[in-house]
Amino acid sequence: MSLEFGRALSVTTTPIPGLLVVDLPVHGDNRGWFKENWQRQKMTDAGLPDFGPVQNNISFNDQVGTTRGIHAEPWDKFVSVATGRIFGAWVDLREGATFGTVFTIELDPSRAVFVPRGVGNSYQTLEPDTAYAYLVNDHWSPDAEYAFLNLADPTAAIEWPIPLQGAEISQKDLQHPQLGEVTPVPPRRMLVLGANGQLGRALASEFSDLGHVEFATRDDLDLASGDLSAARRWRDYGVIINAAAYTAVDAAETPEGRAAAWTANAAGPAALARIATEHGITLVHVSSDYVFDGTAEQPYAEHAALSPLGVYGQSKAAGDLAVATAPRHYIVRTSWVIGDGGNFVRTMASLAQRGIDPDVVDDQTGRLSFTADIARGIRHLISTGAAYGTYNLTGSGAARTWADIARDVFRLTGHDPDRVTGVSTADYFASAAGPVAPRPRNSVLDLQKIIDAGFTPPDAETALSEYLATRD
């Protein structure tokens, strides 16, 4: 394989998910050659992950046949050749269906490889005085955990150009385990905040099949903590789902509530955004219809201008703006949330059962959002690698008022829906003892973006019927 000049920049996939071959343009003349070894904008446009390298290492080998053991590191790597030529072998050592998959290719200065975390990599020099460089997106640490595979593993069956018997190999590399003895590398951890809330419990159920997910309450991890950046070894995390929030919309209008709302809904997410940016973490943040004033005549799309009315909505809008600064973020905007715990639907079912005929607001319009569906939607965005950004996620179907929903609850639980009396928001709160937060009159969110991303939210009325049939 001779050095090829003028090759166009391109990124090619391999049988190992995430392992990418990069053809690099090399420009040469009688003086030698030049290449852009790492050019973020061009390479990400071509399909390479924007993996955020923080360290550049160089390995020099003066003898042909020098062979480095198969090591899987806990970071991503971009490997390229400065001079000479190498044979590269990669083995997927990550948990999953592709564990043990092998890919090999020769590299010279015109070809590089992107190696994702957990994929074992090994290199054998094919020319003297060979040097190759690798960018990594985490600093070396003595606490880093590696996985190793024996170079001669019969299952991988790598066809080394220079037989291992005649290669230069360290004694340590010769003693690495066979594939059947390798513990697969787990994914980076996922952290769910707000684990004791309605959505937090739904997320616990949704991700119960994954062993790398952690759940934290405020007692475990306080977003108001001044040392949040030191609260975890963040380099070990790949996803943070922030389901924690201050949701007492009326209490937020008090001096104490205002401070609490801004701390939980704005300052906390801002701190998480800084951590996510620094460590390449995907940050999922749950937002609210209250970031809008509800005056629009149509459903609110994700790009609609923020226009919150009260303190709660203002603090949530500030949190959204902060989270949007993280390169890898999903802002999941929802409304009228119903899950495991005290909520409007359970209250109406209890009133119906106890023979109480309620007055219910009939001039606010929206759709119910069930926590199990929100959790499934969040998992869909993460698992499919959907484009980062903001997504509306509520139940689908016709818009309803709170009074309409109350009547549905009465009817579905075998009670007369006419027992529910519709009243205006102003009349409902006329005798309130404390401060009352302004509510958006239109809370309907446009769902087309998340549908286009491959997730179709269930019909809210059907979901309500199923919820009532299975509630405790």
Cα 348-398-352 angle, rounded to 5 deg: 15
Ordered DSSP codes for 248-275? -TTGGGSHHHHHHHHIIIIIHHHHHHHH
**What number of other Cβ atoms are within 10 A of residue 75's Cβ?**
23
Strand partners, 106: 87
Q: Give Cα separations from 442 to 293, 363, 445 (angstroms).
A: 8, 9, 9
Structure tokens at 41: 């904008």
Are residues 395 and 367 in contact, defined by beta-carbon separation less than 8 angstroms? yes
Q: Summarize the chain as % helix, strand, coil (round to 5).
A: 30, 25, 45
Structure tokens at 248: 């007492």
Which has the closest alpha carbon to 402: 363, 432, 374?
363
Q: Catalytic residues, which ones?
A: 71, 134
The side-by-side arrangement of strands in the sheet containing 70-72 is 102-107, 86-92, 119-125, 70-72, 147-149
Pairs from 22-26 (Cβ < 8 Å, separation ≥ 24): 22/46, 22/48, 22/78, 22/80, 22/111, 22/112, 22/113, 22/114, 23/110, 23/111, 24/80, 24/109, 24/110, 24/111, 24/112, 25/110, 26/109, 26/110
3-state SS, 401-440, equals EHHHHHHHHHHHCCCCHHHCEEECHHHHCCCCCCCCCCCC
Which has the closest alpha carbon to 107: 196, 206, 19?
19
Cα 238-244-246 angle, rounded to 5 deg: 155
